[in-house]
Amino acid sequence: MKHEIIIAGYGGQGVLSMGKMLAYAALVEGKEVTWMPAYGPEQRGGTANVTVIVSDEYISSPILNTFDIAVVLNQASLWRFQKLVKPGGVIIYDPNAIMEPPTRTDVSIYSIAATEAAIEMHNSKAYNMLVLGGLIQAVPMVKVDNVLKGLRKTLPERHHHLIPMNEEALRKGMQILEKK
Amino acid sequence: MEEQEYILLKGNEAIAHAAIRCGCDGFFGYPITPQSEIIETLALEKPWETTGMVVLQAESELASINMVYGGGATGKRVMTSSSSPGVALMQEGITYMAGAEIPGLIVNVQRGGPGLGTIQPSQSDYIQATRGGGNGDYNTIVLAPATVQEMADFVDLSFELAFKYRTPVMMLSDGVIGQMMEKVKLPPFKARLTRDEIEEKYPWAATGKRKPGQSPRIFTSLDLDPQVMEDHNKDLQQKYSTIKENEVRYEQKYCDDADYVVVAFGSAARISTKAIETLREEGLKVGLFRPITLWPFPEKELLELSQHVKGFICIEINAGQMVDDIRLAIKCSKPVVQYGRMGGMVPTPEEIAEVIKQNAR
């Protein structure tokens, strides 16, 4: 099984870190994984995107132009990446500040109100974990436990007190995902 | 031996960790995108507190390469890293190292040019790297990693080759392999050489006060007597012949039954492989030949392969540089077409598949 994923949004939304959390979880599961950021002079408010490939087999190209899954977290990313999802693929978007929702009819579309949920949690830092929860609920490519295992392995000890908050966000994200 | 587990690292981070683990004595560098994570990782790891490795942010690229010159002359495993415009600045130091036969490692995580260009990936320093880059008749060994694992593995390999032949070695990577994360097994720790070990292994090294009866250690690339200089050049050329004979490295995939073969290195080889996999599913017999050493170039192997195929497609992220080496290697016996992008644009697998389709018919 191979999942070719683009995660895109504003700089500051935690797009790259979300990709990393997914990649670490895949590593815990013994899968092959690549994580390729669009690097550049990006900063808070600019655009950010990362291509993550999770596979049972050797991954040749870390660079892709079509995707199985697009996680799009702002309007610009939705416009840009909607057309690059393969037929039968998946689009997950955050409806916050989206004026033109996805229009594709040959893919599965999910919305996740993660901006709203993060505000309810009084924690903007939970945002990307909410979205990640939605992603692995829509396409169960890694187990929740392994996301947490990945976190424990990669977070420095001094940040381990944040793991319960991350777990809460992850599980909440799984619940609030809505199929369109 | 300790068994390492797989971890997730950027290519740049892998180079830093591998350097600490392979007994590297010193890193001298000046930050530049897209390779700054190398010196950042070294600064975070603080190897000076553990292995004793020196990490220094020099005032410039010129200073960095001349620190490598000095460190190498004392028999130390020292390195620098930069990206294209920075490596251009280092060329004087590299040719001096080649002339004075000083070992050392230079990592180039390429970005688009010419000039300051862009910070996005490119492979447009191929000719600079494989032809020496500086003045005079010399070559540096050039290794082209295509995975994060190779970014880690080639650090120790580069030092081994640099000291075996007393010559600068370059790792020619690019922004794709430097910035991407992939799983990697780091090599086990190897101790730095002690001064006694250096004196025993490298009798040419400048290790301190001369012992009685010992000749002075002089490192220079200058001799005003042209006859002496020509003899020195002949020795260098002899050494380069030995390297060409012994150190060619390459990888072949799907070449056994291939009608057409894509020749690509580094990140271009990764992207081309995806294109080839797609085309194979469509029944097109296409293979991949990936030079791992760009100098010495796998000439004999390509010539041999040319007898069994209809043609070659050279994919490189530049305007067409390695394509000349392919044509020379196969003595222009088969058609060779080239495709590339420039200025920081990276071709997609679909784009490459289309190029292969158009030419492999």
Provide the ipTM.
0.94
Residue from the list B181, B277, B350 with its beta carbon closest to the beta carbon of A60? B277
How many domains, in total, are found in chain A?
Answer: 1
Domains of chain B, start order: 7-184 (3.40.50.970), 250-359 (3.40.50.920)
Q: How far is B10 from chain A (nearest CA, A)?
A: 9
Whether B350 sits inside 8 A of A66 (CB atoms) is yes
- pLDDT tens per residue across span A5-37: 999 999 889 999 999 999 999 999 999 999 999
> Is B271–A37 a contact, with Cβ atoms under 8 angstroms apart?
no
> What CATH code is carried by the domain that includes residue A57?
3.40.920.10
Residues of A in contact with B267 (CB under 8 A): 62-63
Residue B268 has pLDDT above 80, yes or no: yes
Percent of chain B with pLDDT over 70: 99
Q: B-chain residues within 8 Å CB-CB of A64?
A: 348-349
Q: What is the mean pLDDT of residues B10-24?
A: 98
A85 CA: distance to closest CA in chain B (Å): 14
Write out pLDDT tens, residues B66-125. 999 999 999 999 999 999 999 999 999 999 999 999 999 999 999 999 999 999 999 999
* Per-residue confidence band for B1, with pLDDT thresholds at 50, 70 and 90: very low
Angstrom distance (rounded) from CA B110 to CA B338: 20
pLDDT in tens, B135-175: 999 999 999 999 999 999 999 999 999 999 999 999 999 99
Cβ-based interface (< 8 Å): residues of B facing A: 6-8, 33-34, 119-120, 175-176, 179-183, 267, 270-271, 273-275, 277, 346, 348-351
| Contact yes or no for A23 and B8 at CB 8 A | yes
Chain B nearest-CA distance from A21, in A, is 11
The band of B213, judged by pLDDT with boundaries at 50, 70 and 90, is: confident
B355 vs A46, residue with greater confidence = B355
Q: Which residues of A touch B290 (CB under 8 A)?
A: none
* pLDDT tens figures, B171-186: 999 999 999 999 999 9
pLDDT at residue B2, as a whole number:
53
Provide the residue range defining the domain that includes A128. Answer: 2-179
Q: Is the pLDDT of residue A45 over 60?
A: yes
- If 0-12 CB within 10 Å is exposed, 13-18 middle and 19+ buried, where does residue B205 land? buried
pLDDT of A73 reads 96
